[in-house]
Amino acid sequence: MTFLKTMGFSIVAMFLFAAFSNILPQVQSDAPVEEEIPTDGFDMAGMIAYGERLFTGKGTCTLCHNDLGRAPDLLVMNLSTAFNDRLADPRNEGVSAGGEGASDVEAYLRESLVDPSAYVVEGFGKKGSNDTISPMPAVDAPPIELNEVELNAVIAFLQDGAGWDPTVPLPSAEEAVIEEEPEEVESAEPETDPLVVLDNVYCAGCHDLEGSEADVGPNLDDIGTRMTQGEIIEAILYPNAIIADGYEADYMPEDFGEQMHTVELMVLVDYLINLSN
């Protein structure tokens, strides 16, 4: 009986999702490939371009830095005004406090990436922390885990966006082997390993999954005891329909339905439900 019930749920949910996922493009990416960049070809322009790809790709920065309003919209705002203001802000007790110019901005950005709570942009701190604790995870630690070259590339991208010549060092010959995000390809083959799906859609950046300890959203370990399969699917496809108690709306991206194949959504939901068993 329970089995039949679950089957029934799955099928209804599959149809619901398939009904509109079919009109959306099925975007899927292949596993990252190592790509060797010759050092003489990896100049500052290459570094900036690499930083931009990391910002929207592996760095998962756009999960939060977007127009939902929960983090500064770094791709849209005037970066030079903003970064100058941060350096001059009396609340800033970080390494860049009181400094000015490109290299102090580099220091500010590096600290923002590896120690986000050192200085929290006003109004963006964790609920109840009075802007002393940042919701942003340190991006040099798991799960995002950018390495030194990647951090430098992202900083170069943001310095360039603010109109400064980047001051970061260029990678040495050995460091120039970088992990390239693959181009997104239209694919008919959905991923059936839930851990690979998780890696692609990056739930662990905000939820404590696979030991990420992220706490922007609720812990999902016991989600199977709190929500039905249908409710979990709804929470993923329409995050703002119901807001979990104690958490904020407009954080969780609303486009996971476009990023996942129906089959991927289902294996992911099954995986989450089974976490509590």
Residues within the interface to ligand HEC (CB under 6 A): 55, 59-61, 63-65, 70-72, 82, 86, 109, 112-113, 116, 120-121, 124, 134-137, 139, 154, 158, 201-203, 205-207, 216-218, 220, 223, 226, 232, 235-236, 239-240, 243-244, 247-249, 251-253, 256, 268
Q: How far is the CB of 24 from ligand HEC (least distance, A)?
A: 15
Cβ atoms within 10 Å, residue 43? 10
Question: In terms of Cα–Cα distance, which of 196, 195, 194, 215 is closest to 206?
Answer: 215
Q: How far is the CB of 187 from ligand HEC (least distance, A)?
A: 18
Q: How many residues does the chain have?
A: 277
| Residue 81, amino acid | T
Question: In terms of Cα–Cα distance, which of 269, 195, 192 is closest to 231?
Answer: 269
Question: What DSSP state is assigned to residue 116?
Answer: G
- HSE-CB of 209 using CA atoms within 13 angstroms: 24
Angle 104-107-112 from CA coordinates, rounded to 5°: 130
Q: How far is the CB of 250 from ligand HEC (least distance, A)?
A: 8
Q: How far is the CB of 272 from ligand HEC (least distance, A)?
A: 6
Identify the H or E element spanning 177: strand 177-180
Angle 55-63-31 from CA coordinates, rounded to 5°: 65
Question: How is residue 27 written in tokens?
Answer: 């975007």
Q: How far is the CB of 12 from ligand HEC (least distance, A)?
A: 18
Q: Cα–Cα distance between 115 and 148 in angstroms, integer?
A: 14
Cβ atoms within 10 Å, residue 156? 28
Helix runs in 22-147, H state only: 44-56, 79-88, 102-114
Question: What DSSP state is assigned to residue 124?
Answer: -
